[in-house]
Amino acid sequence: MEKQNDWRTKFQDIFQTCSEELKKTTEIGKKMLSASKTNSTLHEAYEELGVMAAEAIKKNEISWENERVKKILKTIEGCESDLKDIENQVNDIRFAEGEEQTKTTDQ
């Protein structure tokens, strides 16, 4: 009987420890989710500020003579150009497929 009580006590201790750890993990998870949302908001704010600054520099509304800024602006311009090229290529593919489908269905 004593062994059975000892087993129950150990089981209850393990259950209590697991329960406490689960509560801690849940709280940490909530905090991490909150941090993730806050980080996303921060990223969006920085991105918006960066876009505004880049546009202001391009329009000569502000001047920022900094080599790193110049390098970032060149990267932005290159990416924008690449994206425009990709969009044009996708449109060419889309409309070329549409022409082939029209020809096939007309026959």
Q: What is the pLDDT of residue 6?
A: 87
pLDDT at 35 over 80: yes
Question: Is the pTM for the entire model greater than 0.85?
Answer: no
For the chain, the domains span 1-64, 65-107
Residue 98 pLDDT level (bands cut at 50, 70, 90): low
Distance CA(14)–CA(22), nearest Å, equals 12
Distance CA(66)–CA(84), nearest Å, equals 27
pLDDT tens digits, residue range 50-76? Answer: 999 999 999 999 999 999 999 999 999
Residue 97 pLDDT level (bands cut at 50, 70, 90): low
